[in-house]
Amino acid sequence: MPVNQNEVLEAYAGLEGRELVRAFGRDFKGRIALLSSFGAESSVLLHMLAEVDRTIPVIFLDTLKLFPETIAYRDQLVRELGLRDVRVVQPNIADLESDDPAGTLHRANPDWCCNIRKTLPMEKAFKSFDVMISGRKRFHGASRAELKHIGFDDKRIKIEPLAAFTALDLHGYMVKHQLPSHPLKLAGYHSIGCAPESCTSKSGSADNPREGRWMGKEKSECGIHFTANGKIIRTAARGERQLESAVA
């Protein structure tokens, strides 16, 4: 999808939050979708989307290793927000049978596990969309610290309506709009991904929620996002295979 990046940046300059979603939802109707984990902070962006246009597709990556509480929370938010087009995307069964028959790949090679359970299904799901709405924030730190509201790669535009939101902003929004919390957040989890303890733990805080992800590993992203400069965020795979060869 070739676009004039300067024209896009100029057209949507100064917009964030709900207004950024509204503008892109209007101008890219039918070509825009939101990627959501239905995790600890997901209700804010999903609420904004529902206020703008409940028919905008929401892509939910079910890795088949999620907490049951996440599935229940998804169903609750879909019902309460009136979301009309939530698409559940799962990994290719042949990939799982070939690369993770015992379901333990997350221990030996978490990067490869994320690749087959998240990256590849996500890329397939977004093939027909020109714009992805993502819920990342700068206060998460690491590669997200310099996050821009609008990013580009050779496939699509990616907008980050909540880039400048703080933990306090998120809390205030949830209270104001009476949004339900993820059940596991109430149990002490601040960032919620897949259920294995090596993927998600109770470590972290409101201001540093992702500390509890992949504890003890040199890994901070699962590989489904690209940065503001258009490069894919993906930790190099450890083991016999390399992620680059998998997506070539």
Q: What is the pLDDT of residues 103-162, one digit of tens each?
A: 999 888 888 888 899 989 999 999 999 999 999 988 875 666 778 999 998 789 999 999
pLDDT value at residue 33: 98
Domain 5-247 class in CATH: alpha beta
pLDDT value at residue 142: 62
| Domain regions of the chain by residue span | 5-247
Residue closest to 134 by CA, chosen among 221, 244, 243 = 221
- pTM beyond 0.75: yes
Residue 211 — pLDDT band, cuts 50, 70, 90? low
Alpha helices per DSSP H over the chain: 5-11, 17-27, 42-52, 68-81, 93-99, 105-108, 110-114, 120-125, 167-176, 183-186, 243-247
Catalytic (active-site) positions: 222
pLDDT value at residue 18: 98
Residue closest to 211 by CA, chosen among 195, 188, 191 = 191
Beta bridge partners of 32: 131
The H or E element that residue 157 is part of is strand 157-159
Residue 206 has pLDDT above 70, yes or no: no
Residue 207 has pLDDT above 80, yes or no: no
